[in-house]
Every structure is written in C-alpha cells, then in structure tokens.
Structure 1
Amino acid sequence: MGSTYSIKYVRADGVADAKTLQAGVEGILAEVDQQMSTYRDDSLIERFNRAAAGSCMAMPADVLELVRLGEGLALQSGGAFDLTVEPLLDLWGFGPKARGEQVPSAAAIAAVRQRVGHQHLHIDGEQLCKDAETQVDFNSIAAGHAVDRIAAWLEQQGVSSYLVEATGELKARGHKPDGSAWRIAIEEPRDDQRVAQKVLTLDGYGVSTSGDYRNYFEENGRRYSHTLDPRTGAPIAHKLAAVTVLHPKALLADGLSTLLMVLGPEEGVVWAERQGIAAFFVTREGDGYVTRATKAFAALSAAQENRP
C-alpha cells in the first residue's frame, strides 16, 4: 500500500506468540496488496484495469464484496463516492499513473469522465465485468478492509485487546495492560505541523479521517485538493478541511470519511445526520477552524468515554 502499519496488543494466556501474529498480519497485508493495489502492475485489480471494454475477470470474494460496497455508497450518495475515479486522479496528477500535477482542460475532463462511474461495472457470478475502459481504485476502502481482516484474525488467535493501524486507518478493542482505554488523537488539519485537535476513546470501533490538508497543489494562486468530486470530475472546492468517522467496521469508516469529504460541510452534515453516521467535521473559517459533530458522533464519543 506504499505506507506503514502498526499493531499493539495485550498478551494473555492462549494468545499466539509474537512471530506467529506478525506473520499472519503480514500475510493478510500481502494478500490485500496483491489483490487491490493500484501501485503494482501484477495486482489483480491492475490486470482488470488494463483489460479492454467488454472484459470479465474472475475475482476473489473480498474484491467483489468491496465492489458491491462501493456501488452501494455511490447510489446512496448520488455519486459522491465512486471506485472508478482513478483516470481522473491520474489526469489531475494525483494518481499512480500521473505525469505531474496539472489543471486539465474541460475537454480532457469530459473525455475521461466517459469511462468513470460504477454503472460501467457489473458482477457476473465470480467475475467482475466492465462495459467501458473503466479502472477500479480501492484506495478509499482497502486500508479499512485490511484493518478489519487483521482485527478479526487477531481475535481468532485469542487476542481480546488490540489497537490495529494500517496507513492511518485504525480499530481498537478492549483495554491496555494497565486497564485504561485505547485513546487516539484526531489531528488538526494543518500542513505545517502535527497538532492534536481532539482525543477519542475507542473500544470496538474503527476510525478514519479524510482531509485535503497535505496532498494538494497550487496553480495561479488557487489550491487544488487531491480529493476529487466524481460528480464534476474536479477537486472539491468547499471549505471542509477534514472529516472523521467512527464505525464498528473500519472498512465503512474509511469509505464514509471519503464520501463525506466530497459532500462538504453542508451537504455532508445533512447526509450524515440522515444516515445516523458518527462524523466529526472540521471546516476552514478565516485563519482558523470550526468543528461540528453529528448527534451520533457526540453520543458515541460520550458513551465510549464513560465505559468502564
């Protein structure tokens, strides 16, 4: 995935030894990478991405599950979430095949958008098929999926207390050896230094933050975020700097944080409240930031903080 991972866990009777746990974790990460990476030519999804329009290819159950999930999020959000935006990311200079950051022409955006959209994909039994030269990019959900798989595997090995992190996506369960809760900090969305804005207590939840404060470029005095709105083919232009989502599944926390980042501070809050999503929004306001939590986030944060 081009990033790092870390696992913290509490030793106990019946828990496998550290070498066994590490080997299992790295086996899961290697499998996810082999199936879903857009940064290696030999991955299954990159082979599919190179295939011609009208092609079908056999895929593992996990890949098909993520495609179905992506389609569901796309339909629920009116297209704000889309697993097929990789050609647009490349066009703007943010994707794995980008040739440098640039502002493309309206004609170039329109041409690429002809092959972007979940409607170009369909599943036929155990095969993934496409009716256009569509490319699938799992980077908005693959890390969360990996975290869930690692957490489930650790529990199978007898681990009841852990903090799992992969490429910044996290999930925690249980308590630290001293009995205190696992606590994680949400960063203030700054590109000059790392400052904690809010500290969360986690037990049984995944957490994901999406933001535009580190990956962007500027041209003619205008800032272009790496987060693209699939509905326009262009980077988001609203004032939402970051959004954090809590969910029992790290996979959904991962995908939902991306979705809400695209929707923005107004539409995103309304959508999250309607769906009962635990989300925390950080919006630029002048030289500072304004924060807003959904009702579900406020209630969940209070409940987690007060757990024994």
Structure 2
Amino acid sequence: MGTRYSAIFFAPDGIDESAIGAALLAAADKVDRQMSTWKSDSDLSRLNATPAQQWVEVPAELMTVLDTALRTGVESGGAFDIGVGDLVNAWGFGPAGPTPDEKQTSALKRHVHKPAFEVLEIDHVGKRVRKRAAIALDLSGIAKGYGVDALARCLDGFGITRYLVGIDGEMRAKGHKPDGQAWAVAIEKPLRHVREVMGVMELEDAAIATSGDYRHWVEVDGMQHSHTMSPSGRQPARNRLAAVTVVMNDCMLADAWATALLVLGDVTGVELAQKRGMDVLFVLRDGDGFREVSIVDGQRQP
C-alpha cells in the first residue's frame, strides 16, 4: 500500500515474537495483494481489467471491503465512492504516474458519472462480483483501514489483549497499557511540508482514521489539489476542510467515513456526522490558521 504498518503490544514473557511478526506481515501482505491498484496482478486490478457484465470470483476479504464501500457510498449520499479510479489516475495519484493529465481531467469533468453502488453488483452466495458498466475501482479510502483491522485480528488470534496497530494515519487500539493509561495517538496539524502535532487523542478499544488535503497533493497553475476526489464534482475535493478525524469501533468504517466527510465539507459533513451520532474532529482552514469543530456522540461540543 506504499506505506508502513506498525504494531505495539504487551504480551506474556516467552511468547514467540517471530511468529507474531510473520503473521502480521502476512496479514498486511494479503490485503495488499488483494486490494492494491499498484499491483497489476492484484484481485482488484483483475476486477478492473475484466469487461463489464462478466462475473469475477473475488476473495472473501475483498468482497467484505467492496460491500462496506458500497453501503457507505449509499449512506453518505455518494460522497464516498470507490468508482473514482479514473480520476485518481488522471490527477497523478495512481499508478499511471505523478503528473496530472490536463486533457483527461477536463474530459472526466464533463463525463456523466454513476457511483459504484449503482454499477457494481455483488453475489454473496457465489462469492463473485460484476460491473454493469465500465468503471475503475480504487480502494485507497478504505483498504488501509481494513488492513489495520486485519492486523488487530492477527494479534487477537495470539491472545494479545493490549495493543496499538496502525497503517499510516489509521490506527486501532485494544485495552490499555500496563500502567492503566490509554493509548495516546497524535493528531497532526494539517500543514503542508511540515509535521507538527496539533493535539493528542486517547484510544481504548477504538479505531481512528484521518483524511486530509495536506499530505498528498499536486500543484497545477499555482493551485494545490488534494488526492481526495469529489465524485459529484469529478475533480479533487475543494472546501474549507483541511482534515477530518473519525473515531469508530473498527478502522475500515472510520477510514471510509473520514473520506466521505472530507468530501462533504464543513456544513453538510458536520450535519451528517451529527445525524449519525458520530465522533468526529473537523479541522477547518480559517484565514492563516485553523478552527476545530468537535462532534461527540453526534453532539457538537462548545
């Protein structure tokens, strides 16, 4: 997935750390082999390459992610959409290369887009998927979160009850440290070119995911464009939000919803988070600085 994974855990003396390390690597590698658009032989790439109307058998893990992605797409009103692979590539964020293709981005902006939940059909009994129309799928907004959950399940399998696992900015915690303290996760200030801590969030039996416009972006004609795509606008999302951090029980959903809320913006996104009773930290660009909007159990905090 083009990044690192980490696992910090407390376990009894004598536990086979090499076996745990090997299992964690296998868990992360399995997600990468199934869901990466950067691997031409991944299951996702195979699905993308298959013509419309043809059924494709997919592994159970990939089917779970696809199913969750489509459901989140519906619940977010299309703000979360895995059918934006063409946009991701055209803007230079995919395997096609790091340079935006102006001709292609202009053409895609005029293109009538159908969201993935209208195009993709899942046959749970037959464990297969088909596209009703041509579409390029990209799981960048959900696969890392699923990978974090896979790392957590791996440690659960070893009977480990106190850990913090993560892939990039997505993390999941279980239990607490031996001294009784919760796991502390730093929240970065959404600054480009600089890494600076804005605050710290404590986690215990919860997952956290952040989406923002400040780590992966391109500059075109003096304007900076985020890697997060607006499905309806057919271009990179552009609003007042610099970052969205979501806390949920599992990281796959937190990852997807952080992306969806970032796309929706500081008005519609905040309203939906409140309506759904979510725990979310919105960071808005406010002049030369930032302003925070915190939602806890759906209630806006003073």
TM-score using structure 1 length: 0.91
Are 2:277 and 2:299, in contact at CA under 8 Å, matched by a contact in 1?
A: no
Q: CA RMSD in A?
A: 2.0
Query: Are the structure 2 counterparts of residues 40 and 123 from structure 1 closer, same or farther at C-alpha, using a change threshold of 3 Å?
Result: same
- 1:144 paired with 2:145, answer yes
1:9 equivalent in structure 2: 9
Sequence identity of aligned pairs in percent? 36
1:191 equivalent in structure 2: 192
Query: Whole-Å Cα distance in 1 between the matches of residues 47 and 141 of structure 2?
Result: 18
Are 1:115 and 1:132, in contact at CA under 8 Å, matched by a contact in 2?
A: no
Query: Whole-Å Cα distance in 2 between the matches of residues 145 and 296 of structure 1?
Result: 23
1:147-186 alignment runs, 5 A limit? 147-186=148-187
Query: Whole-Å Cα distance in 1 between the matches of residues 244 and 278 of structure 2?
Result: 12
Q: Please state how far the C-alpha of 1:94 moved relative to its aligned partner.
A: 1.7
- SS class of match (1:294): strand
2:63 equivalent in structure 1: 64
2:96 equivalent in structure 1: 97
1:54 equivalent in structure 2: 53
Q: Which moved more, 1:94-103 or 1:184-193?
A: 94-103
Q: Please state how far the C-alpha of 1:113 moved relative to its aligned partner.
A: 4.7
Q: Please state how far the C-alpha of 1:87 moved relative to its aligned partner.
A: 0.7
Query: Are the structure 2 counterparts of residues 99 and 24 from structure 1 closer, same or farther at C-alpha, using a change threshold of 3 Å?
Result: closer
Q: Deviations over 1:209-230 (max 9, x none)?
A: 1000122222233222211100
Q: Deviations over 1:17-73 (max 9, x none)?
A: 110111111111111111111110111110111111222110112211111111111
Query: Are the structure 2 counterparts of residues 117 and 286 from structure 1 closer, same or farther at C-alpha, using a change threshold of 3 Å?
Result: same
1:2 aligned partner, one-letter code:
G
Are 1:87 and 1:112, in contact at CA under 8 Å, matched by a contact in 2?
A: no
Query: Are the structure 2 counterparts of residues 297 and 24 from structure 1 closer, same or farther at C-alpha, using a change threshold of 3 Å?
Result: farther
Are 2:109 and 2:235, in contact at CA under 8 Å, matched by a contact in 1?
A: no
Q: Which moved more, 1:276-285 or 1:188-197?
A: 188-197
Are 2:276 and 2:298, in contact at CA under 8 Å, matched by a contact in 1?
A: no
- 1:129 paired with 2:141, answer no
- 1:214 paired with 2:215, answer yes
Query: Whole-Å Cα distance in 2 between the matches of residues 192 and 110 of structure 1?
Result: 29
2:28 equivalent in structure 1: 29
Q: Which moved more, 1:94-103 or 1:178-187?
A: 94-103
- SS class of match (2:19): helix
Are 1:48 and 1:135, in contact at CA under 8 Å, matched by a contact in 2?
A: no
The answer for unaligned runs of 5 or more in structure 1 is 302-308
Query: Whole-Å Cα distance in 2 between the matches of residues 193 and 223 of structure 1?
Result: 16
2:290 aligned partner, one-letter code:
Y
Query: Are the structure 2 counterparts of residues 297 and 182 from structure 1 closer, same or farther at C-alpha, using a change threshold of 3 Å?
Result: farther
Q: Deviations over 1:140-194 (max 9, x none)?
A: 1111111112112212211111010112210111222433221011000001321
Q: Please state how far the C-alpha of 1:285 moved relative to its aligned partner.
A: 0.6
Aligned residues: 299
2:62 aligned partner, one-letter code:
V
The answer for unaligned runs of 5 or more in structure 2 is none
Query: Whole-Å Cα distance in 2 between the matches of residues 182 and 132 of structure 1?
Result: 45
Query: Are the structure 2 counterparts of residues 128 and 103 from structure 1 closer, same or farther at C-alpha, using a change threshold of 3 Å?
Result: same
Query: Whole-Å Cα distance in 2 between the matches of residues 269 and 98 of structure 1?
Result: 34
1:65 aligned partner, one-letter code:
T
Query: Whole-Å Cα distance in 2 between the matches of residues 107 and 33 of structure 1?
Result: 31
Q: Deviations over 1:70-120 (max 9, x none)?
A: 111111111101011111111122222246124446751156555753311
1:62 aligned partner, one-letter code:
E
1:60 aligned partner, one-letter code:
P
1:48 aligned partner, one-letter code:
L
Query: Whole-Å Cα distance in 2 between the matches of residues 113 and 171 of structure 1?
Result: 38
Q: Please state how far the C-alpha of 1:270 moved relative to its aligned partner.
A: 0.3
Query: Are the structure 2 counterparts of residues 104 and 116 from structure 1 closer, same or farther at C-alpha, using a change threshold of 3 Å?
Result: farther
Query: Whole-Å Cα distance in 1 between the matches of residues 299 and 289 of structure 2?
Result: 22
Query: Whole-Å Cα distance in 1 between the matches of residues 277 and 259 of structure 2?
Result: 16
2:142 aligned partner, one-letter code:
I
Query: Are the structure 2 counterparts of residues 195 and 99 from structure 1 closer, same or farther at C-alpha, using a change threshold of 3 Å?
Result: closer
Q: Please state how far the C-alpha of 1:121 moved relative to its aligned partner.
A: 0.7
Are 1:212 and 1:242, in contact at CA under 8 Å, matched by a contact in 2?
A: yes
Q: Please state how far the C-alpha of 1:236 moved relative to its aligned partner.
A: 1.4
